[in-house]
Amino acid sequence: MMRVHELKRYGLKVTISALKSGRGLVEIALGSEVRTLSLSEFTGFWLDMVEISRQGTTAELNFLMEPFAKERRKSVQRRPPTSKNSQTQSAG
């Protein structure tokens, strides 16, 4: 049994096949370079890629939000403190 998955947009081709021993074998082709991994190696590789991608996206979002966070910190510092004591003194 063999399955082929292609991400033509990236030039990526993943071929999954079963050996006679029942073990899975995965070939990853990116352009002209091909790497062969066992199914468990591929699973670990793919999980690492997902985690790295998540970390990269989080870093990018933090970078994009930085100017807004600075503005928010400035506006929070300008507000007078609100506490029960200050409210009762001004009301009395």
Label each residue of the chain as H, E or C.
CEEEEEEHHHCEEEEEEECCCCCEEEEEEECCEEEEEEHHHHHHHHHHHHHHHHHHHHHHHHHHHHHHHHHHHHHHHHCCCCCHHHHHHHHC
- Residues facing 78 on adjacent strands: none
Q: Tell me which of 55 and 86 has the higher pLDDT.
A: 55
> Looking at residue 4, what is its pLDDT?
94
pLDDT band at 34 (very low <50, low <70, confident <90, very high): very high
**Segments making up each domain of the chain, as ranges:** 2-77
> Looking at residue 50, what is its pLDDT?
95
Q: Is the pTM of this model over 0.85?
A: no
- Mean pLDDT over 39-63 rounds to 94
Q: Tell me which of 67 and 38 has the higher pLDDT.
A: 38
